[in-house]
Chains A and B, each alone.
Chain A
């Protein structure tokens, strides 16, 4: 109960800040932009080719579900990483920099508890944000294209191709995918969180986290590293897309998320060690 009360306070701090909401606004704009691009004739033509080349009817799969899939994938890739790194990079470093942390550390609460609370708050923020993007993306797509149509999934990098003709199944798969993206994104938040625990500026923690992710992402694209793709964080983070295969390979997914879970625990532990060894003083 005490933990939950403290977590509520931590979430109140997180969601009380204006900059936490900047991401929500920007994502709505981003979703509108993606939706607009999909409404353009050239985009539709490209998509039509892709769908029809696979023997499917364009009108059946140019739908709100398919657009939501693209919105979630694109916006998370393009902007999600930046916002999660920004918020998670702030969570400890900003409070340490501003001096708020001293008021907390003067209380009878362990440093481990403080970090667990902050980590839980960041994880909740990350997952709820992805769900927000999924829901608003779907709502906008429905407003633009209507309810009808199935879900068409195509991901060249991860070698996934699937179709879900019925709306119910499409929604169920996209919901699972949204939760899985949230879980994947927690890893990005964990990287930023870890750096945030060190003695560094909040912006530095954000930049370090994004740098790690960027290097991982770029190296993965080198042909020499392809045989080792399962060791790359960004590859593991992309495994959510396997939930959109027609036949879900649970062991493959479980392996990836076990990898990410282990990585998150390690990142937390490193962050905690750094935080535990720090002296806090004016």
Chain B
């Protein structure tokens, strides 16, 4: 449904994106992660045609944004962090004006969406009087008005209270269920991403460092909690075999390593193995693990199977 291929972009000679490619399937909620300046907003900007890539292209529903901008964007609704509406106009007027850029203003459909996002009571008030949460609801309404197939969310829950975040999450999940909507979700709130997303793409300094499901992310860098005795000897042995020591009793095996073989080798070396259990890490753990490592030109060896 959404694909970016070989995206490259530099700002004033400084690369912001380097050969980034990933795909989002129809009906999928896809998380786009990365630290500040990793290239997430640039990627979203390119998908929306707001940023011109130096190389590569973004396709929505098979239509190139760079070649047929209007046709590609006809299928998209977008929400930005701190959406900037016309504060001096009412929420209703904002929706009316914005919807004319996508087609005809449909009063009935607008009422339904406004009611659905829970803004009916305030829709005639000036947006300047809205709270951050209300603005986000209005942003959601304006994104849904053109009946999009793809929803692009750029830090949509930033600054929302926990109730607001939960409401937003439930709303997006319901949308996916009802309409089979495809969602690309850019956020710093990793717990949110973990709860919502089917797959994630992680960017680091403009480079793609991971794309896949959370499970593949776990598998690509399997971590085990081990009780080995003597530890010092075991550590030397493991390091020699390409295992990464994350801390006392915590190791990351190379992606192609078979834990059974390693256990046998350890036992064969006279090391007592009392425990050797895989650890299910949160997305936050995985993310921090990936982003804490130095960037190399080549993909990190333990993340990508040869």
What is A's interface to B at a CB cutoff of 8 Å? 2, 5-6, 8-10, 12-13, 16-18, 98-100, 102-110, 277, 279-282
Q: Indicate whether B104 reaches chain A with its CB closer than 8 angstroms.
A: yes
Which 8 pairs across A and B sit closest by C-beta, in order of nearness?
A99-B84, A107-B101, A9-B97, A108-B73, A106-B78, A280-B50, A108-B70, A279-B51
A97 to chain B, nearest CB (A): 9
Among A109, A279, A280, A282, the residue within 8 A (CB) of B101 is: A109
Q: Indicate whether B98 reaches chain A with its CB closer than 8 angstroms.
A: yes
User: How many Å lie between the Cα of A16 and that of B78 in the bound state?
Assistant: 25
In the complex, the number of residue pairs spanning A and B with C-beta atoms less than 8 Å apart equals 94
Q: What are 21 A-B interface contacts by the 8 Å CB criterion?
A: A2-B104, A9-B97, A9-B100, A10-B97, A12-B93, A13-B97, A16-B89, A99-B80, A99-B83, A102-B84, A103-B142, A106-B50, A106-B78, A107-B73, A107-B101, A108-B69, A108-B72, A108-B146, A110-B70, A282-B80, A282-B81
Q: Indicate whether B102 reaches chain A with its CB closer than 8 angstroms.
A: yes
Query: Contact: B81 with A107, CB < 8 Å?
Result: no
Interface positions, chain B 42-72, Cβ under 8 Å from A, are 42, 45, 48-52, 69-72
User: How many Å lie between the Cα of A242 and that of B101 in the bound state?
Assistant: 42
Q: Indicate whether B41 reaches chain A with its CB closer than 8 angstroms.
A: yes
**Which residues of the other chain, B, contact A100 by a CB distance below 8 angstroms?**
84-86
User: How many Å lie between the Cα of A249 and that of B152 in the bound state?
Assistant: 59
Q: Indicate whether B26 reaches chain A with its CB closer than 8 angstroms.
A: no
Q: A9-B96, A99-B80, A99-B82 are in contact. Are A279 and B74 (CB under 8 A)?
A: no
User: How many Å lie between the Cα of A228 and that of B45 in the bound state?
Assistant: 48
User: How many Å lie between the Cα of A280 and that of B11 in the bound state?
Assistant: 12
**Which residues of the other chain, B, contact A102 by a CB distance below 8 angstroms?**
50, 80, 84
Among B42, B72, B80, B104, the residue within 8 A (CB) of A5 is: B104
Q: A5-B100, A281-B41 are in contact. Are A109 and B70 (CB under 8 A)?
A: yes
